[in-house]
Amino acid sequence: MNRSSLLKNTLTISALVFAGILVTGGCNKTGTANAEGKSSTVTAGIVFVELDSIIANFDMATDKSSELEAKTKNSEAELTAKSQAFDRDVRDYQNKAQKGLITRATAAEMEQTLAQQQQSLIALRDQMAYNLNEEGVVAQRQVLEYINQYLAEYNAEHGYQYILARQFPGPVLFADSTLDVTADVIAGLNAKYNAEKNTK
């Protein structure tokens, strides 16, 4: 149950979907009339971010991954302890049954108890896996939503027409590196996130 890598994989898959989203800001300049009555288009600008790099360097994504990894280890430790206890009970039953130290009625009761313990272990394992998977999906959505909201704020300040999310493979196969604002966005994201985290 390596949920840390699951979170990274889920974030990467979601990033492919997110890569197709265009974040538009408050700069909606379409056209103006010149002195001769003809319209001319004003381009506010198009920039892009490398979404993989943002997720890899965003402190919130790292924190969420660490939290999920810690929960995974705790769940694995709990499940291992319960499994070992179950194994001891099975060995104890087998030992007593083979040596004829218990009646058939007692053996039947012990078998029934062991079967219930086994079902409980399976249910616990499945519930833990479901909970960790759900937490991973929620964490991924929280990270992407935070990035999306920050890009809207970032764009309000810079006034671009479009901010594209670039990732390979993806819809943006080539982009001029001078239009790359990834480092600026990462710095702003981490500054905002850490400031908010420190006030909690």
What pLDDT is recorded for position 39? 32
pLDDT above 90: percentage of residues in the chain: 68
What pLDDT is recorded for position 151? 95
User: Is 80 exceeded by the pLDDT of residue 4?
Assistant: no
In angstroms, rounded to a whole number, what is the distance separating the alpha carbons of residues 107 and 56? 56
Lowest mean pLDDT across 88-92, 134-138, 157-161: 157-161
- Could you report the per-residue pLDDT of 52-72, keeping only the tens digit for each? 999 999 999 999 999 999 999
State the CB neighbour count (10 A cutoff) for residue 69: 15
What pLDDT is recorded for position 5? 52
What pLDDT is recorded for position 36? 40
Angle between helices 59-98 and 182-199 (to 10 degrees): 70
State the CB neighbour count (10 A cutoff) for residue 146: 18
In angstroms, rounded to a whole number, what is the distance separating the alpha carbons of residues 65 and 42? 43
Identity of the amino acid at 33: A
User: Is 50 exceeded by the pLDDT of residue 87?
Assistant: yes
Q: How far is CA 81 from the centre of its chain?
A: 28
User: Is 50 exceeded by the pLDDT of residue 12?
Assistant: no
Q: What is the arithmetic mean of pLDDT over 96-116? A: 95
Residues 6 or more apart whose Cβ sits within 8 Å of residue 175: 48, 164, 166
| Backbone dihedral angles phi then psi of residue 62, each to the nearest 5 degrees | -65, -45
Identity of the amino acid at 127: Q
Residue ranges covered by each domain of the chain: 3-199
